[in-house]
Amino acid sequence: MTREIMPPALALKKTVINTLLVTYLTNGHLLTSKEIEYKKRK
């Protein structure tokens, strides 16, 4: 039973981590883009 339950849990964990990573990287990219635009305006 535990062997059958474990893989989906690990897959879910990986999906959540990947989603957080993508969100973090996207937000970071947007922030840097805004900073560059702000510096260009100055």
At 29 the pLDDT is 80
Q: Is the pTM of this model over 0.95?
A: no
At 28 the pLDDT is 84
Structure tokens at 22: 């993508």
pLDDT digits (tens, 9 = 90+) for 2-19: 666 668 888 999 999 999
pLDDT exceeds cutoff 60 at 1 = no
Q: What is the mean pLDDT of the chain?
A: 83
Q: Please provide the DSSP assignment of 1-42 as one string.
A: -HHHHHHHHHHHHHHHHHHHHHHHHHHHHHHHHHHHHHHHH-
